[in-house]
Amino acid sequence: MQYQEFPAPPFLLEYASLFWFDACTDANFPAMEYNLIADGEPGIIFHEIPGSVTINGFSKLPQLMIYGQKTRWSSTLAKPPYKNIGIVLKPYALKALFGIDANELTDSALPLSDLVNCERLLDQLMCNNGLGYKINAIVSFLCQLKPKLSTGLVRLRDTISLYDEGLPLYNIQRELKVSERTLERSFQQELGVSPVMYKRIHRFNFALNLIHQNEFDTLTGLGYRAGYADQSHFIRDFKAFAGVTPRAYLIKSKGKRAYPKE
């Protein structure tokens, strides 16, 4: 088994966070069942071997697919041999790169070809060249989209920054001089979720990062540090977004973005 992560190049950091590669070429290796968490970010995945990955029981996934925000965890089964390349996009990148309202892809996926001509990219990903060549092909493809942050997206990016810093939604509305309805519509169209859901997902991922960085003493303290009013609320959100309790995640995850159930 092999798993690698690569940071996005500086000129793409406005739209992409990182690239990842996940592979197992041993056909005799047992299938691995994973929980994919609600990480607050859309992305693109290339499955080099069609049918090798099943998500929530669905195996006929697009070979080159784009997915939106996840508001719940997903059960994923990877059957060797498999080779997958993924791009983790920024929360607002669907609108900026592809012009699609992000809520059209929330908790769902499409063939990338439904949004943009990617025939050449698919040919490059299917060839026998190495991983570096394929990642460079994806980088070139994204650059050719000529992405541009509109005034609305710039405002939304600033909103996200204020929200992530803990500023209450009402104060953000006053800061940006927009109504509650306008801000709600902006989040739905450009992030794919409501401000309340975005806050829940962000708070959960903040707790997740504390686990990965081992920056907590107790799970109760971890929940309070992440902004949860009580432990039951923390556990309920964690199970909704990760599929397991915080304690079970701590035991099984070992710091990985996705992990085997058994």
The structural domain count of the chain equals 3
Same domain for 208 and 177? no
The CATH number assigned to the domain holding 114 equals 2.60.120
Closest CA to 89 of 139, 36, 16: 16
Based on the domain organization, do 79 and 184 belong to the same domain? no
Shared-domain flag, residues 109 and 56: yes
* pTM, full prediction: 0.89
pLDDT at position 261, please?
A: 40
Per-residue pLDDT, 254: 58
User: 119 with 161, same domain?
Assistant: no
Report pLDDT for 112: 98
pLDDT of the residue at 260: 40
Q: Please check whether residues 9 and 135 belong to one and the same domain.
A: yes
Instruction: Tell me: do 42 and 85 sit in the same domain.
Output: yes
Q: In the prediction, which pLDDT does 126 show?
A: 96
Find the Cα–Cα–Cα–Cα dihedral 131, 256, 207, 44, rounded to 10°: 30
Q: Residue 233 is part of a domain; what is its CATH number?
A: 1.10.10.60
Q: Are residues 185 and 125 in the same domain?
A: no
Domain stop point among 78, 110, 144:
144
- Does 128 lie in the same domain as 91? yes
The CA angle 152-158-159, to the nearest 5 degrees, is 85
Residues of the chain with pLDDT under 50: 255, 257-262
Do 187 and 226 fall into the same domain?
no
How far is the C-alpha of 192 from the C-alpha of 181, rounded, in Å? 15
Q: Do 16 and 128 belong together in one domain?
A: yes
- The pLDDT of residue 262: 36
Same domain for 102 and 12: yes
Are 185 and 203 in a shared domain? no
Beta strands in the chain (DSSP E): 2-7, 16-24, 32-36, 43-47, 53-55, 64-67, 74-78, 82-89, 109-111, 259-260
What's the pLDDT at 148? 67
- Strands ordered across the beta sheet of 74-78: 53-55, 74-78, 32-36, 259-260
Q: Which domain holds residue 223?
A: 196-260
